[in-house]
Amino acid sequence: MVGKKVQTFFNPVTEVVVSVEEIVNKKRVGILGGNFNPVHYTHLLMADQVYHQLGLDEIYLMPSNIPPHQTAKRTINSDHRVKMIELAVEDYPYIGIEKIELQREGKSYTYDTMKTLKEKNPEAEYYFIIGGDMVEDLPNWHRIDELVSLVKFVGIKRPNYQVETPYPVIWVEIPETSISSSLIRKRVKDGCSVNFMLPEKVLQYIKKEGLYLNDSL
Ligand SMILES: Nc1ncnc2c1ncn2[C@@H]1O[C@H](COP(=O)(O)OP(=O)(O)OP(=O)(O)O)[C@@H](O)[C@H]1O
Ligand SMILES: O=C(O)c1ccc[n+]([C@@H]2O[C@H](COP(=O)([O-])O)[C@@H](O)[C@H]2O)c1
């Protein structure tokens, strides 16, 4: 690099020379994966709090195509799910949307996704955010032993789920809630209020499009 002094360090154990620039340039990126059917306030709280509490450089919500291990879990068209996320974050420009899993066929295994993202952005350090139910489920994840070397997991406690896990998890505290997409879908279908569980703009979209009225999607 012309005109810029780059200081280097020599590590005698690994015999690797690392520049200060390389350390400083390491981007720390948070990803909250989910089906977002629909996105709700706890998703947004999770993304925002992890971004701020860990001082990350970037944060993304990443909608899945077909959720792994959930053949029974049907979902709605990804255009609706993406539109609802866009409405939810439009006033928060630091929260992005990562659509890589929607561009890939089949089940959205996190190992496949993170391997591709790491190849595209080798300088990035990824923080994959999961709720307590998913922390409990980690032993069942596809190629989990390889995945733990690709990402750092960030756990968010969820009522009624364990916090013990054999895998390394950074816990971030947020006010615990039992809000879930399935609760919202059920309440909309039953004609009950979901006010204050998700952004008003998302609720208006659900009403305008007539989502979740007929079955258990
Ligand atoms: N209330 C909550 N507390 C902690 N984590 C949550 C909460 N709701 C969702 N999550 C986490 O957010 C991520 C994305 O979840 P997802 O899109 O499947 O939402 P969900 O509310 O769990 O949906 P569903 O009810 O359809 O299973 C997952 O890691 C999930 O554990
Ligand atoms: O890769 C796996 O085996 C795997 C198993 C369960 C969940 N995940 C990911 O965890 C995130 C949350 O899952 P879900 O089912 O709560 O939407 C989402 O990004 C999923 O792709 C990944």
Encode pLDDT of 145-181 as tens digits. Answer: 999 999 999 999 998 888 889 999 999 999 999 999 9
Beta bridge partners of 51: none
pLDDT at 140: 95
Rounded Cα distance between 39 and 84, Å, is: 7
Contact 75, 67 (CB under 8 A): yes
For 66, the 3-state DSSP assignment is strand
Cα 102 to ligand 2 centre (Å): 14
**Residue in 57, 118, 106, 88 with CA at minimum distance from that of residue 181:** 88
pLDDT at 69: 78
> Does 199 sit in the ligand 2 pocket, CB within 6 Å?
no
Site to probe by mutation for ligand 2, drawn from 43, 126, 134 as the one with most ligand atoms within 8 Å of Cβ, is 134
> Does 75 sit in the ligand 1 pocket, CB within 6 Å?
no
> Does 108 sit in the ligand 2 pocket, CB within 6 Å?
yes
For 122, the 3-state DSSP assignment is coil
> Does 35 sit in the ligand 1 pocket, CB within 6 Å?
yes
pLDDT at 2: 35
pLDDT at 20: 54
- Look up the CATH number of domain 28-175: 3.40.50.620
Cα 181 to ligand 1 centre (Å): 7
pTM of the model: 0.90
Find all residues with CB under 8 Å of 191, minimum gap 6, and list them.
Answer: none
One pLDDT digit (tens) per residue for the chain, 217 residues: 333 343 444 444 334 444 555 556 789 999 999 999 999 999 999 999 999 999 999 999 999 999 887 654 578 999 999 999 999 999 999 999 999 999 998 899 999 999 999 999 999 999 999 999 999 999 999 999 999 999 999 999 998 888 889 999 999 999 999 999 999 999 999 999 999 999 999 999 999 999 999 865 5
pLDDT at 145: 97
> Does 158 sit in the ligand 1 pocket, CB within 6 Å?
yes
For 114, the 3-state DSSP assignment is helix
Residue 178 to residues 89, 160, 184, Cα–Cα distance (Å)? 21, 9, 11
> Does 155 sit in the ligand 2 pocket, CB within 6 Å?
no
Contact 197, 180 (CB under 8 A): no
Rounded Cα distance between 7 and 19, Å, is: 6
ipTM beyond cut 0.90: yes
Torsion, Cα of 60, 97, 65, 33 (10° steps): 20
Length of the chain, in residues = 217
> Does 134 sit in the ligand 1 pocket, CB within 6 Å?
yes
